[in-house]
Structure 1
Amino acid sequence: MKNIFYSLLLMVFSQQCYAQSSTADQQKLLDLYQNQKYAEAAQYLKNSYTDQTNDQKALNQIAYCFLMAGNNVEAEKYYSKAYQLQPQNLSVLFSLGNISTRRGNQQLAKKYYGEIVKIDSNNFNVYKLLANLYPSVKDSLRFVYLLKANQLNPNEADVAIDLAEVHGVSQEYEKAYHVLDVAIKADSENLVLQRAKLPLANQLKKYQEVITTGEILLKDGDDAAVIRDVAKAYYYTKKYDQAIKYFSRIEKLLMQNENTLYFTSLSYRYLKNYKMAAIYANKTIEEAISPNTASYYALLGLSYEENNQFKLAHAAYKKGLQFKATPTLYYRLAILYDTKLKQPKPALNYYKLYLGSKPNAEDDEAEIKFTKDRIAQLLLTD
């Protein structure tokens, strides 16, 4: 979106730099422009014209300088006045739409861009900008505007990538692939387009294309997403040694996930390396389980316990231990057996397990002291 807007600014600049004025020194303005002293240029122009001026070129010049100086409020003020004088001026409408977007007023931006569509229904830039005002890939209007922009300019990379993403979410992989393929034919060295196309080629079982393109892309540097696609392509073509090689590269980048570990385990299994298959099956399981699962069960158990649902609390604490033996779970079980279920022997066992799990001496000072005192009491009554 920025590229579009700055292109428009250059167009406005070329028009406005040479705007004739009886009061403003155009050479001085050019010097200020060339040195990017837009705030000074804006102030100079304001002083050269009265606030009541209806000179369209002057208003555009002042607004442009304020915009380039980052003063959106003043820029909007002057562009709005220019808009009142010429409501169908495309450069003014584009500028007002952009300012509205910058200031977070999406509805106003849609209004200005919508007016451009009414004036010029084949304006590629406005459809691209409108699409960006609907960020959700599931929004039907985003799809409509991207589709129109792509029809007007199928070679433009940004729109092609965004439209392919929308098609991909709808599982229309052939359409997504075709959109990117057209753009790539127009710019065969565009690595961003090629990266976007790679997972789609995998979905469409174009595995040799994935391998060939992916290995070229990886010469530009490691990219976990590209490595993953190449690894899967090798897996699906039953080249399991190569698949493992690429999945291992993902691990070295610390970018492995449940899916990549799963495919690594399967690859080892097909190679009849059952020892490594088991290792990666375990890694897959560990990756699939949240490190916070035990804490969640501790919270669930405590909720049950406080509601006097002791059997459910006991089950929740024990389930949590299956994921990770934490000091909190041992302590909660000890307290549950001791004070609620009135079973001193298992309570004593869990108090000991709690101390053995090395709770934080500073954070859990009170619990540690209580546990030691309670162990001493239980041993006396044993």
Structure 2
Amino acid sequence: MKNPFTLLVLFLLALTSYAQDAKTVDKEKLFDLYQNQRYADAAQYLKNTYGDEVNDFKILSQMGYCFLMAGNNAEAEKFYSKANTLQPHNLSILFSLGNINTKRGSTEKAKLYYGEIVKIDSSNFNVYKLLANLYNSPQDDSLKLNYLLKANFINPLEGDVAADLAEMHTSYQQYEKAYQVLNIAINGDSDNLVLQRAKLPIANQLKKYGEVIASGEKLLKDNADAGVIKDTAKAYYYTKKYQKAITLFKQLEEMKMENEATLYYTSLSYRALKDYHQSALYSQKTIDAGISPNTSSYYALLGLVYEENKQFALAGTAYKKGLQFKATPTLYYRLAVFYDTSLKQGKNALKYYNLYIKSKPSPTDDKEEIKFSKSRIEQLKLTN
């Protein structure tokens, strides 16, 4: 494929072969602008020379290209659109208009331009790839899959499409199809580490554990990728090589890349080795990882809403439920005020005011709450 500079030189030679309304360009000046990649200056020079009302396809194409290379998509679209009116079936112009509208977020217009290309050339790999990238919402999955299938059929060795298609097959739990798509692409490019990494979780789903371990260990020599570590560790677990699984799962912890699933498998691995102490420890870590750190705050809010709506029994339950997830200063304070003002239970209020102070609230952010709590503690001591 010709590079952009070569294309521009060809355009330049074409432009100098004729003039419109006796207007000509300084070819040396234009060549110098191209050579120094001053596309904005070149575009403006052509526009100043020919004006906005130019109706020559080659000049319009050249001006559109210069504005596009300069990053001025609005002007580029204007001139490309005029060129498209003159030659509505020109693939280069349609691709450019589709590209410009994609960049500008006009997805529906881009789909129309790429759709025109499909009508003209139904075996064009690039247009199917571009169309697939425009369908990203869940309701568009069937269309995205259709375009990826067509692109992959035309060129099954292209890695990006193979990876995207395999991901789509996986989302439909069609693991064998996903595996085969990646296998074909990898056979065409055995050094493509992206494709090899993408195949590991799919191979695990198909219980090809030996393959996962062999490929995973090879990949880990190149880079300690968290996804590869996780998939290789799971394969070791399923082949009952528990200590190797634990070693890799702990590596994720050192990288701060552990999650609920990896902690769970770590606990299972320790249990299989009858190390019940560590298994219990990682079971608790799994539980903690599965709970949002904001859960206690959500219960604090729920309790406050119930309290303001005079649903006191529900408010108390919500506040105490929040404490089961994380005992925060906010929850202790809300409970103290709840018992103090809503239920008029001084003894319980005193208990939670004291717990609030002991929980070390922020001396700057919670200055007023701390002052109020200490004051109420002294007052409640006198009445209890």
Residues in 1 aligned to 2:373 and 2:92: alpha-carbon distance in whole angstroms: 75
User: In the alignment, which residue of structure 1 is the partner of 2:208?
Assistant: 206
* Match status 1:65 vs 2:66: yes
In structure 2, give the amino acid aligned to 1:29: L
Residues in 1 aligned to 2:40 and 2:270: alpha-carbon distance in whole angstroms: 65
Deviation at 1:306, TM superposition (A): 0.8
User: In the alignment, which residue of structure 1 is the partner of 2:120?
Assistant: 119
Q: State the SS of the aligned residue for 1:251.
A: helix
Stretch moving more, 337-346 or 191-200: 337-346
Deviation at 1:9, TM superposition (A): 5.2
Deviation at 1:253, TM superposition (A): 0.7
CA-based RMSD: 1.9
* Match status 1:286 vs 2:285: no
CA contact (8 A) 1:243 1:267 kept: yes
User: In the alignment, which residue of structure 2 is the partner of 1:339?
Assistant: 341
From 245, 249, 252, give the equivalent of 1:250.
252
In structure 1, give the amino acid aligned to 2:175: Y
User: In the alignment, which residue of structure 1 is the partner of 2:365?
Assistant: 363
Using structure 1 for the length normalisation, give the TM-score: 0.93
Deviation at 1:373, TM superposition (A): 2.1
Q: Structure 1: which 5+ runs fail to align?
A: 1-5
User: How many residue pairs end up in the alignment?
Assistant: 377
Residues in 2 aligned to 1:232 and 1:189: alpha-carbon distance in whole angstroms: 24
In structure 2, give the amino acid aligned to 1:143: L
User: In the alignment, which residue of structure 2 is the partner of 1:24?
Assistant: 25
Residues in 2 aligned to 1:194 and 1:350: alpha-carbon distance in whole angstroms: 56
In structure 1, give the amino acid aligned to 2:247: K
Q: State the SS of the aligned residue for 1:362.
A: coil
Alignment of 1:261-300 (within 5 A): 261-300=263-302
Q: State the SS of the aligned residue for 2:224.
A: coil
Using structure 2 for the length normalisation, give the TM-score: 0.93
CA contact (8 A) 2:9 2:31 kept: no
Stretch moving more, 314-323 or 246-255: 314-323
* Match status 1:110 vs 2:111: yes
CA contact (8 A) 1:138 1:169 kept: no
Q: Structure 2: which 5+ runs fail to align?
A: 19-23
Stretch moving more, 286-295 or 86-95: 286-295
In structure 2, give the amino acid aligned to 1:354: Y
Residues in 1 aligned to 2:51 and 2:380: alpha-carbon distance in whole angstroms: 92
Deviation at 1:90, TM superposition (A): 0.6
Deviation at 1:247, TM superposition (A): 0.4
User: In the alignment, which residue of structure 1 is the partner of 2:21?
Assistant: none
Residues in 2 aligned to 1:259 and 1:124: alpha-carbon distance in whole angstroms: 39
Residues in 2 aligned to 1:179 and 1:124: alpha-carbon distance in whole angstroms: 16
Stretch moving more, 336-345 or 74-83: 336-345
* Match status 1:320 vs 2:336: no
Deviation at 1:65, TM superposition (A): 1.0
Alignment of 1:31-70 (within 5 A): 31-70=32-71
CA contact (8 A) 1:8 1:91 kept: no
Residues in 2 aligned to 1:329 and 1:45: alpha-carbon distance in whole angstroms: 69
Q: State the SS of the aligned residue for 1:328.
A: helix
State the Cα deviation string for residues 2-60 of structure 1 (Å, max 9, x = none): xxxx9885785475243242333445433322221112222332344354433222221
User: In the alignment, which residue of structure 2 is the partner of 1:3?
Assistant: none
In structure 2, give the amino acid aligned to 1:327: P
* Match status 1:187 vs 2:182: no
Q: State the SS of the aligned residue for 2:293.
A: coil
- Relative to structure 1, is the Cα distance of residues 185 and 36 closer, same or farther in structure 2, using a 3 angstrom cutoff? same
CA contact (8 A) 1:137 1:143 kept: no
CA contact (8 A) 1:136 1:142 kept: no
In structure 2, give the amino acid aligned to 1:243: A
Stretch moving more, 52-61 or 289-298: 52-61
* Match status 1:351 vs 2:353: yes
Alignment of 1:139-150 (within 5 A): 139=140, 140-150=142-152
- Relative to structure 1, is the Cα distance of residues 263 and 158 closer, same or farther in structure 2, using a 3 angstrom cutoff? same
Q: State the SS of the aligned residue for 1:70.
A: coil
Residues in 2 aligned to 1:14 and 1:246: alpha-carbon distance in whole angstroms: 56
Residues in 1 aligned to 2:57 and 2:38: alpha-carbon distance in whole angstroms: 22
Stretch moving more, 42-51 or 277-286: 42-51
Deviation at 1:160, TM superposition (A): 0.7
CA contact (8 A) 1:160 1:179 kept: yes
